[in-house]
Amino acid sequence: WIVLDELNLATQSVLEGLNACLDHRAEIFIPELGRTFQVHHEKTKLFACQNPLKQGGGRKGLPRSFLNRFTQVYVEPLTSDDYSFICSQMFPTIPPDTLQRMIEFNERIHRQTMVECKWGTRGGPWEFNLRDIFRWCDLMVSSGRSDLTEAARHVRLIYQNRLRTADDRERLGKLFEEIFGVKIPVT
């Protein structure tokens, strides 16, 4: 099995190499190794993944002729329940109430900045997603503490420092305080 992630960020030369794997040639040449490898279609499963074109930067639409080589499956965005289940399994030492607040915080930032465009427009588009929650949880677990004060300590690094204006950072701080009941530390 071969998984190609973020395929719509691939260079043209990578796409051309993949075409050679998928067509009658069924081979790929790796210049760094100076070798050609055969691809056995009946034994090889190739999975190509990509995010929507408007999500993030630098994504391009792949040619229809290339996309037609694959069975296309659309995956719905994760729900709050999905986030809760995944995070509770990955980070069982963080109290469920803290995880729920972290997830709500992440979702509200995303909604306010990317869906409603209420603030955070300078420097965007922003991606506030499961990766951010994982980074946040990793920092809390590595510190050995998982209380609300510890959550506040790390939110500056994961979220606040990405924002470009003082007003946006202040709005984020107010949202955090509203959800967690504690302020983000100044230092």
Average pLDDT over all residues of the chain: 88
DSSP state of 38: E
Please determine, for residue 91, whether its predicted confidence score (pLDDT) is greater than 90: yes
Q: Report residue 55's pLDDT band, with 50, 70 and 90 as the boundaries.
A: low
pLDDT of amino acid 54: 66
Query: What is the rounded CA–CA span in Å between residue 157 and residue 139?
Result: 10
Q: Can you list the pairs that 60-68 forms with residues at least 24 positions away whose Cβ atoms lie under 8 Å? A: 60/8, 60/9, 61/8, 62/7, 62/8, 62/15, 66/15, 66/18, 66/19
Give the residue-averaged pLDDT of 119-142: 89
Task: Tell me if the pTM is above 0.85.
Answer: no
